[in-house]
């Protein structure tokens, strides 16, 4: 197997067009503030993760993840409540250095969403 197969791009983003429904934006019936609080609690509960900042107006929660080598990754979670009352969560994970991430950014998204799904069920 070639190195190129293992060395994936430096960022992973939830997207409505992702072929895997797990990696599409989450939708919740709970209000924005409640979802943000659960996101922050989830981040703090994960080993190697740290809550860095919360920008209430933007609905952005910034976190970092460090693993055994490298500078780690920056994770941004965006939570927006629509006029229909549905709260949407999207996220990105991006390495702080390098051209590839060995799949770590996708693993970060998976870890946070899996842990969050245990606390709050999406629509």
Q: Any idea what the CATH number is for the domain that residue 89 is in? A: 3.30.310.80
pLDDT (mean) for 21-44: 97
Q: Is 105 among the domain residues?
A: yes
* Rounded alpha-carbon distances, angstroms, from residue 90 to 7, 16, 104: 24, 9, 18
Residues 6+ apart with CB under 8 A from 9: 100, 101, 105
Q: Is 32 among the domain residues?
A: yes
Whole-angstrom distance, CA of residue 34 vs CA of residue 10: 30
Q: Is 123 among the domain residues?
A: no
Domain that holds residue 57: 3-117
Q: Are 29 and 38 in contact (CB under 8 A)?
A: no
- The total number of structural domains in the chain stands at 1
Q: Is 8 among the domain residues?
A: yes
Taking each helix axis from N to C end, the angle separating 104-117 and 32-45, rounded to the nearest 10 degrees, works out to: 120
For the question of whether the overall pTM of this predicted structure is more than 0.95, the answer is no
Q: Is 112 among the domain residues?
A: yes
Q: What is the mean pLDDT of the chain?
A: 90
Q: How confident is the model at residue 94 (pLDDT cuts 50, 70, 90)?
A: very high
Q: Is 67 among the domain residues?
A: yes
Q: Is 92 among the domain residues?
A: yes
Q: Is 34 among the domain residues?
A: yes
Q: Are 51 and 61 in contact (CB under 8 A)?
A: yes
Q: How confident is the model at residue 66 (pLDDT cuts 50, 70, 90)?
A: confident
Whole-angstrom distance, CA of residue 101 vs CA of residue 14: 16
């Amino acid at each position: 197997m070639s190195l190129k197969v293992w060395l994936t791009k430096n960022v992973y983003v939830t997207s409505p067009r992702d072929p895997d429904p797990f990696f599409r934006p989450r939708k919740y019936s709970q209000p924005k503030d409640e979802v943000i609080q659960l996101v922050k609690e989830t981040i703090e509960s994960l080993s190697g993760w740290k809550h860095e900042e919360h920008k209430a107006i933007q609905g952005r929660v910034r976190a970092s993840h460090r693993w055994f080598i490298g500078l780690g990754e920056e994770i941004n979670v965006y939570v927006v409540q629509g006029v229909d009352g549905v709260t949407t969560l999207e996220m990105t994970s991006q390495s702080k250095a390098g051209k590839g991430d060995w799949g770590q950014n996708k693993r970060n998204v998976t870890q946070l969403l899996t842990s969050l799904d245990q606390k709050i069920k999406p629509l």
